[in-house]
Amino acid sequence: MNAWWWEAKSQKDVLKEFDSNFANRYLTVAGAIMSHGGSNGLQWRNVHSFCVREFLSKDTLNSFSTLRQQEIRRTLRSLSKVNTPVYIRQEMHLTMLNVIMNMLWGGTFNDEDKIRIGLEETNISDFFPILARLDLQGVERRMKELVSWLDSFLSSIIEQRMKNYDELKLNGDQDAKNEFRDILQIFLQLQDQGESRTPFTITNLKALFT
């Protein structure tokens, strides 16, 4: 099995040619909520192609290398000061989330405890979907509250950046186009250039880090 997977042709079959078949699995309650109801259809494929082309090119990812290194060092320093057991999976997820947020808008979450709410508990409904409608552990309710908080948080960030970007343009400041480009900056520049045909929306932008 391992030898089969490492063949280039096999990887192409799994990840490109037949990705829909191999990805055909039950979506968890948390995943459904955090993805803003995204579906695996034509719209998703268009958004995927757009993100790869505009946001995840080799040059763009290389430009974020310093951000990734800084966040990993910050996590290691934080863990080195803890005298109690830690959940490595949870901390890794949170670190990845902060790295992606850095790439998205150049910052991280200020209240990490809120994010941990959705990372630390196994949901029995994910193993027995017939119980999902009962929400026995309250996971669905808490995830909806978390998503509502995240939506407000991201909306304020995006609105402030759009306001700053518009002010720079009105003042004729060329640095609005030459400053460090995170993903939000790239998105605003594409909008400014009249890329209305792109399938990427503010909602997609909010869901990108999940």
For residue 209, the model assigns a pLDDT of 58
In tens, the pLDDT along 69-122 reads 888 898 889 888 888 888 888 788 788 878 887 887 777 665 554 555 555 556
Report which residue type is found at 32: A
Average pLDDT score over the chain: 71
Q: What is the CATH number of domain 2-207?
A: 1.10.630.10
The secondary structure of 59-107 as a DSSP string is HHHHHTHHHHHHHHHHHHHHHHT--S---HHHHHHHHHHHHHHHHHHS-
Lowest-pLDDT range, 58-72, 95-109, 129-143?
A: 129-143
For residue 49, the model assigns a pLDDT of 77
> Tokens in use for 193?
């250039």
For residue 14, the model assigns a pLDDT of 64
Report which residue type is found at 16: K
CA distance 206 to 158: 9
> Tokens in use for 114?
């809120």
179 touches 3 (CB < 8 A) = no
Given a cut of 50, whether residue 1 has pLDDT beyond it is no
**In the predicted model, what is the mean pLDDT of residues 192-205?**
67
In tens, the pLDDT along 150-191 reads 788 788 888 888 887 777 777 765 555 555 578 888 887 777
